[in-house]
């Protein structure tokens, strides 16, 4: 039997729907009220910090440490830039494969990528120049932004489809504010006071809060899914 939906009128004369009325889309505020999503924002931004450091400062590093002319230093750095980009794809592919039966493994993969990059780069910038250092730099470069894809996947899976484009934009903003924009400035400030090598030696420490955010995000993932289901139940289909 058809039952009409009751509505009331506010003091200003505008209609006020009953509590059972569904929204047309998820509220914009839900981009910032899911703790697991916030962990993905923060973790992704922090891991992009070191990737930005390498993209910005490796040409100078090769020029000063390997006594290369500017053009050859830039060419050498370009090889590592390619490793950063290919690592995003390769690590994303690996994370997809291991998480087919358990999506939370993407968080675990992100922690692993941050850990590998941390160890490789901490040793690399403390090694004497030579083949061993370049190999470690290559490993670090490949994994430096490896959890960018896993972070995006987690944000997409924990936000309602009606605001997923906004969520990806927010993730990109976090990557820029915490990583791509902050890294060149902060490392430049440190380099002025302790030299470029001194700054590069401590830069990989940003992977510690990045990995911590991924660990917390994994623990909060079930609660994040419950919050998403609650939001979805209130959105009209």
Domain 33-231 belongs in CATH node 3.20.20.140: no
Residues, the chain, total? 237
* pLDDT tens-digit readout, 162-215: 899 999 999 999 999 999 999 999 999 999 999 999 999 999 999 999 999 999
For the record, the structure tokens of 176 come out as 């820029």
**What is the pTM assigned to this prediction?**
0.85
How is the chain split into domains, by residue range? Answer: 33-231
Taking CA atoms, 220 is separated from 26, 32, 92, 143, in Å, by 20, 14, 21, 24
* pLDDT tens-digit readout, 82-95: 999 999 999 999 99
141 within 8 A of 54, measured Cβ to Cβ: yes
């Amino acid at each position: 039997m058809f039952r009409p939906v009751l509505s009331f009128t506010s003091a200003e004369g505008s209609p006020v729907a009953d509590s059972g009325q569904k929204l047309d889309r998820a509220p914009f505020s839900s981009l910032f009220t899911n703790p697991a999503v916030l962990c993905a924002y923060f973790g992704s931004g922090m891991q992009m910090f070191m990737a930005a450091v390498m993209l910005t400062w490796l040409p100078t590093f090769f020029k000063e440490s390997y006594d290369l002319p500017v053009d050859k230093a830039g060419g050498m750095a370009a090889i590592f830039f390619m490793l950063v980009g290919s690592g995003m794809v390769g690590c994303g592919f690996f994370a997809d494969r291991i998480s087919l039966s358990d999506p939370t493994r993407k968080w675990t993969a992100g922690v692993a990528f941050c850990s590998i990059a941390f160890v490789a780069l901490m040793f690399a910038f403390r090694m004497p120049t030579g083949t061993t250092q370049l190999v470690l730099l290559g490993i670090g470069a490949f994994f430096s932004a490896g959890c960018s894809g896993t972070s995006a996947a987690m944000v997409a899976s924990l936000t309602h489809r009606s605001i997923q484009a906004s969520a990806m934009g927010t993730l990109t903003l976090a990557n820029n504010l915490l990583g791509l924009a902050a890294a060149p400035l902060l490392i430049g400030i440190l380099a002025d006071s302790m030299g470029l090598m001194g700054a590069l030696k401590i830069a990989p420490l940003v992977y510690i809060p990045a990995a911590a955010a991924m660990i917390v995000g994994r623990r909060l993932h079930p609660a994040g899914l419950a919050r998403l289901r609650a939001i979805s139940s209130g959105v009209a289909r």
